[in-house]
């Protein structure tokens, strides 16, 4: 659902930094906190001060914590390692607390899409996170990190691709899944385009145009889909990351929580906050340590119920 189809926010979000009573009241409303990660808990490889203490505070109050990330380059197992590496203490649930767009996409392909037996293979533009999650769901795939695709297109490839030569276009591919790929190239784009033209379902792990890193922005997964969208005359992929509600349904399916008692925490109005608003969660909480500005949260089309300068300001409830 595009934001234009959703009624624009008109309320003024509550500013909670320094408001101890307001924070207590806000926290008490929820049993489950869904956290976007990059820009909220950390930036790149830099853990924000107070992240651990804030997560501990919520857990000590009996809150369920779920990490919801659009970053498709890592699997859930990779994320457990990333959390550990950043010094975030693991809970008893470990991997089960993590939802990534690569996991969401794999679940969608294996359990929702009804692919004919002869069209079950996935052509992947993306990194190892997608491959690991597809493997866990027993979905056959090609492309991805296979070095055979990390080469320039050769003159003889054009005629082969045009003719549908099975040495380059596997006839059993029924899905093209596009995520962030640090090794995107012309050959992969040409193959993905031809698979989709031959009838493959066009999926994206997520459509974030940029990827925050080192305090700046770099090409995101959406930028990998952009050439294909243009070549297909504007046809967009089904995106399985935030704000797509397929991801919310998958999270709810696993935790069986009451949406009215759940809060989405994020730094991006148009993905994180929209994800919570369109998922009809009881609350949304914006933080100013990532992409969206105070102006975005207070005057934008999609606004959180409340916002903070930084997540650790929740510690101010005591």
Mark the segment that binds a second copy (CB under 8 A) among 71-79, 114-122, 229-237, 309-317. Answer: 229-237
Contact status, residue 307 vs residue 9, Cβ threshold 8 Å: no
267 is in an annotated binding site: yes
Q: Is residue 145 within the footprint of a second copy (CB under 8 A)?
A: no
For residue 103, the SS3 value is helix
**Residues marked as catalytic:** 36, 38
User: Is the omega angle on the peptide bond into residue 182 within 30 degrees of 0, that is, cis?
Assistant: no
Mark the segment that binds a second copy (CB under 8 A) among 71-79, 150-158, 271-279, 297-305. Answer: 150-158
Q: Is residue 3 within the footprint of a second copy (CB under 8 A)?
A: no
Using alpha carbons, select from 227, 246, 230 the residue that is nearest to residue 238: 246
Q: How many residues bind a second copy (CB under 8 A)?
A: 38
Site for a second copy in 101-130 (CB under 8 A): none
Residue partners of 121: CB distance under 8 A and separation at least 6: 140, 141, 142, 170, 172, 173, 174, 175
Contact status, residue 57 vs residue 164, Cβ threshold 8 Å: no
78 is in an annotated binding site: no
- In whole angstroms, give the CA distance from residue 50 to residue 2: 35
Q: Is residue 181 within the footprint of a second copy (CB under 8 A)?
A: yes
Select from 215, 256, 295, 318 the one that contacts a second copy (CB under 8 A).
Answer: 215
Select from 13, 174, 179, 222 the one that contacts a second copy (CB under 8 A).
Answer: 222
- Show binding-site residues for Mg(2+): 36, 38, 267
What residues make contact with a second copy under the rule CB under 8 A? 44, 152-153, 158-159, 161-163, 181-186, 189-190, 193-194, 209-210, 213-220, 222-224, 226-231, 233
């Amino acid at each position: 659902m595009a934001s234009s189809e959703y009624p624009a926010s008109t309320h003024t979000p509550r500013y909670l930094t320094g408001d101890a009573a307001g924070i207590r009241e806000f926290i008490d409303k929820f049993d489950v906190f869904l956290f976007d990660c990059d820009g909220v808990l950390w930036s790149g490889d830099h853990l924000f001060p107070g992240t651990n203490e804030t997560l501990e505070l919520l857990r000590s109050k009996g809150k369920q914590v779920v990490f919801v990330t659009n970053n498709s380059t890592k699997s859930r197992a990779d994320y457990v390692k990333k959390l550990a590496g950043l010094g975030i203490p693991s809970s008893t649930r470990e991997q089960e607390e993590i939802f990534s767009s690569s996991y969401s996409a794999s679940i969608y392909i294996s359990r929702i899409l009804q692919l004919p037996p002869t069209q079950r293979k996935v052509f992947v533009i993306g990194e190892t996170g997608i491959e690991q999650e597809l493997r866990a769901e027993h979905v056959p795939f090609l492309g991805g990190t296979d070095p055979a695709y990390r080469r320039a297109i050769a003159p003889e490839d054009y005629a082969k691709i045009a003719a549908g030569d099975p040495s380059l276009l596997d006839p059993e591919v029924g899905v093209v899944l596009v995520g962030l790929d640090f090794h995107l190239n012309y050959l992969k784009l040409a193959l993905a385009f031809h698979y989709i033209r031959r009838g493959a379902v066009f999926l994206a792990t997520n459509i974030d145009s940029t990827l925050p890193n080192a305090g700046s922005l770099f090409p995101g997964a959406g930028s990998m889909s952009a050439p294909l969208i243009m070549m297909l005359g504007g046809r967009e992929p089904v995106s399985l990351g935030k704000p797509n509600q397929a991801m919310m349904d998958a999270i709810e399916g696993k935790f069986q929580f009451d949406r009215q008692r759940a809060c989405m925490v994020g730094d991006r109005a148009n993905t994180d906050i929209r994800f919570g608003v369109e998922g009809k969660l009881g609350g949304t909480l914006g933080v100013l340590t990532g992409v969206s500005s105070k102006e975005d949260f207070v005057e934008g089309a999609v606004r959180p119920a409340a916002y903070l300068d930084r997540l650790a300001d929740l510690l101010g409830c005591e």
